[in-house]
Amino acid sequence: MRATRIWSLKSLSDELLDREYAVRVRSDRASTAELLLYLGEMEARKRYVPAGYSSMFRFCVECGRMSEDVAYKRIRSARLARRFPAIYDRIADGRITLSALVLLAPQLTAHTVEHLLAGAEHKTNEQVKLLLAEIAPRPDVPTTERPNAPASSSASTNVSTSSAELAVRPVAPSECTTPTESKVPLAEERDRASATQQAEPDAAGPAGPAAAAERRIAPRSHQTPLSPTSMYIGTTLPMVVYEQLQEARELLSHRLESRELSEVLEAMLAITLPVLRKQKFAESASPRSTRDLRHGSRNARQIPAHVKRAVWERDGGRCTFVGTGGHRCTSRERIEFDHRVPVTKSGEATVENVRLLCHAHNQFEADRVLGEGFMKAKRAWSAAAQRSRAAIGTGNAIPEDPASENAGRTSPLELET
């Protein structure tokens, strides 16, 4: 009888977990590079034919049990690596990902390969797309606005009539043509992989045919840089938002040269951004002089506007947390103002004592400084109070916990500790 492995690492210390995880990430990269080497050789010798498969793609999916999109990326990368062997080392040491390679593929030639591979090292897909937009800019595409048509009779009527698509149809920028790498067409496989990806329900998403139809009709927003000066954005809007957009277009019409959506958005952002900046980090047209910056607030929980401005500027609007390996967090989202020395330990709302942290690191620091037990109880109390407020329908029904780290906060975006 085969022994069943217990798939749990709960007994590992954090240090051992970190170390063992890093070992496995390194070995995963190395084995991916080796797999490409073998996969390329298997395809070159057409070993899939005697095995009973009509293509390497089918062999990978049906025999290798790879998903369609993984098979597509691996085959494409393996072909590139055979043409440009410098790719193997870069995959093995993690300088480049298979996704980045597939994005680069249409532009890779003997002349461009070194430059492009160097430029794409340690880059995210979005950064690689920007790189490509610089070296191979594409023309702007006209904006279209149209209601979504039902994809099939089983599609939800609600979805098809309640959304409008702001989409650019003449080209699909995310799809790359393959002028330089057309030795063996993978287009069919790519389409199949892409179709399967679209049709496959998300693990966390709703199930059932109606939900699947909804996902096909209403794809998530996506964006692709076309050139250094223009970005393609495709999205689906609820009809109510589309109607608000139309209203904004009418209200702004006296200051617009055309009815172009990009111009409407530009005019709206000119109005909205100063408001958002003021809410988030108290940006002002007439900020206080730097002489005042050292002065904090009498109420340490309330961070004065001039302190927020100075902190935001000093920290570059980005989380300042530095990990054990010296890596500074790159997050610019869900940024919160944090007291280095907590208010409960006499920390003040001064520029020196306040810093920017993302939500995850603010929580982590609060646990570390104040104790996990204390913060757990505090969060449970906050959640219960929030539920009570929601039930009563007023924001003032429950008095704030005087010891709360959040008491007196000026914005729900900020968790001050």
Residues lying near Zn ion in the complex (CB under 5 A) are found at: 319, 321, 329, 331, 358, 361
Query: Among 64, 68, 103, which Cα is nearest to 193's?
Result: 68
Q: Report the b/e string of 47-64 with b at 16+ CB within 10 A.
A: ebeeeebebbbbbbbeeb
- CB of 53 or CB of 312, closer to Zn ion: 312
What residues contact residue 146 under an 8 Å CB cut-off, 6+ apart?
Answer: 164, 165, 167
Report d(CA 56, CA 409) in Å as an integer.
59
Per DSSP, the three-state class of 163 is strand
Residue number with CB closer to Zn ion (325 or 395): 325
For Zn ion, the closer of residues 287 and 317 by Cβ is 317
State the DSSP H helix or E strand holding residue 233, giving kind and residue range, or none if neither. Answer: strand 230-238
Judged by beta carbon, residue 364 or residue 374, the one nearer Zn ion is: 364
CB of 357 to Zn ion, least distance (A): 6
Other CB atoms closer than 10 Å to residue 238's CB: what's the count?
Answer: 13
Please state the closest distance from residue 315 (CB atom) to Zn ion, in A.
Answer: 11
Q: Give ∠ CA 56-38-176 in degrees, rounded to 5.
A: 55
CB distance 86 to 117 below 8 Å: yes
> Least distance from C-beta 320 to Zn ion, angstroms?
8
Least distance from Zn ion to the Cβ atom of residue 335, Å: 8
Among residues 198, 237, 262, 231, the alpha carbon closest in space to that of 130 is found at: 231
Secondary structure class of 222 (helix, strand, coil): strand
Read off φ and ψ for residue 322, nearest 5 degrees. -115, 125
CB of 301 to Zn ion, least distance (A): 22
Shortest CB 146 distance to Zn ion, Å: 40
Residue 400 DSSP one-character state: P
Calculate ∠ Cα 366-369-370, nearest 5°. 75
Q: How near is the Cβ of 321 to Zn ion at its closest, in Å?
A: 4
Q: 322 - beta bridge partners? A: 328
Q: How far is the CB of 305 from Zn ion (least distance, A)?
A: 23
**Rounded least distance, CB 31 to Zn ion, Å:** 31
Using the minimum distance from each CB to Zn ion, give the nearer residue, 298 or 327: 327
Quick one: 59 or 321, whose CB is closer to Zn ion? 321
Q: Residue 372 CB, nearest distance to Zn ion (Å)?
A: 18
Nearer to Zn ion, 122 or 328 (CB): 328
CB-CB neighbours of 203 under 10 Å:
5
Q: Which is nearer to Zn ion, 331 or 404 (CB)?
A: 331
219: amino acid identity, one letter: P
As beta bridge partners, residue 337 has 356
Q: What are residue 144's DSSP bridge partners? A: 167
CB of 310 to Zn ion, least distance (A): 20
Residue 100 or 358: the one with the smaller Cβ distance to Zn ion is 358
Report the alpha-carbon distance of residue 392 to residue 386 in Å, rounded. Answer: 10
3-state secondary structure of 348: coil
Residue number with CB closer to Zn ion (29 or 318): 318
Compute the Cα dihedral for 84, 90, 91, 95 and give only its sign.
negative
Name the amino acid, one letter, at 397: A
Closer CB to Zn ion, residue 331 or residue 411? 331
Provide the 10 A C-beta neighbour count for residue 397.
Answer: 12
349, 296 contact by CB (below 8 A): yes
Count of residues making up the chain: 417
